[in-house]
Amino acid sequence: MTTPPTLSVRSLSVNFGSNRVVRNLSFDVYPGKTTAIVGESGSGKSVTSLAIMRLVEYMNAEITSGTIMFHRDANGSQPQDLTQLSDKAMRKIRGKDIAMIFQEPMTSLNPVYTIGDQITEVLMLHENHTKTSARAEAVKLLKLVRLSDAEAMLKRYPHQLSGGMRQRVMIAMALACRPKVLVADEPTTALDVTIQAQILTIMRDLQQELGMAVIFITHDMGWWRKWPTR
């Protein structure tokens, strides 16, 4: 039996008013595999990832055609079309089953809360953690993304971290609920080459450990030379 794709996008179109910025896009993403979306600036990569998360409607855009089929697991469960789900149903999936690393770390980190508060909130919301167990899990996650002194990191605010640290915190948050699908929108573009390589290795290791399907968005045509294989 062949494994079905975790996510199957067919003929997806997204409009800002009458301006169609994503046109008839189709692709599949398989468990433990990476599908890259490569394109120049303004070609609709971020809008595509926000459509998958059903966040486009919060920015006055609309999915005007297509389907986004999500297969939670290979055997058993019926696939769901994310374009047809209610906002309430989508809130359960977002962050838990499908997580995203945003292009701009500051858009997903709230400047007024500590890193610890933000990670523990996700864990308490989706994973039924208590405050104490969520904190212990947050420390584990920060160690997983190789942030040293995880305990001290929990008490810091996003602006007190470097770009590379923020990016790793975002990865830790995205992975908190062991998602089936990770959408990584230019996760390393803003970072220097050494940190880029480290972060790609971390993502690659975690992908294999968790069997995640990864959508890797970049405008770097040579991205695959940097994606660690082993």
Ligand X SMILES: Nc1ncnc2c1ncn2[C@@H]1O[C@H](COP(=O)(O)OP(=O)(O)OP(=O)(O)O)[C@@H](O)[C@H]1O
Contacting ligand X (CB under 6 A), which of 11, 24, 26, 42? 42
- The tokens of 191 are what? 């970072």
When asked if residue 48 is in the footprint of Mg ion (CB under 5 A), the reply is no
Is-contact 139 150, C-beta < 8 A?
A: yes
Q: Enumerate the H helices of 32-186 as residue ranges.
A: 45-52, 87-93, 105-108, 115-126, 131-144, 150-154, 163-175
Cβ 107 to Mg ion, closest distance in Å?
11
Q: Report how many residues bind Mg ion under the rule CB under 5 A.
A: 3
If one asks whether residue 57 binds ligand X (CB under 6 A), the answer comes out as no
Compose the 82-121 pattern: x for residues touching Mg ion by CB under 5 A, - for all others: ---------------------x------------------
Ranges of H-type helices in 100-130: 105-108, 115-126
Count CB atoms within 10 A of the CB of residue 98: 26
Work out what residue 44 binds among ligand X, Mg ion, none; the CB cut-off runs from 5 to 8 Å by kind: ligand X
Q: What is the DSSP letter of 183?
A: E
47 binds, among ligand X, Mg ion, none (CB under 5 to 8 A by kind): ligand X
Cβ atoms within 10 Å, residue 50: 21
Residues 170-229 close enough to bind ligand X by CB under 6 A: 219
Find the helix or strand (DSSP H, E) in which 103 lies: none
The residues binding Mg ion (CB under 5 A) are 45-46, 103
The residues binding ligand X (CB under 6 A) are 16, 21, 39, 41-47, 59, 103, 219
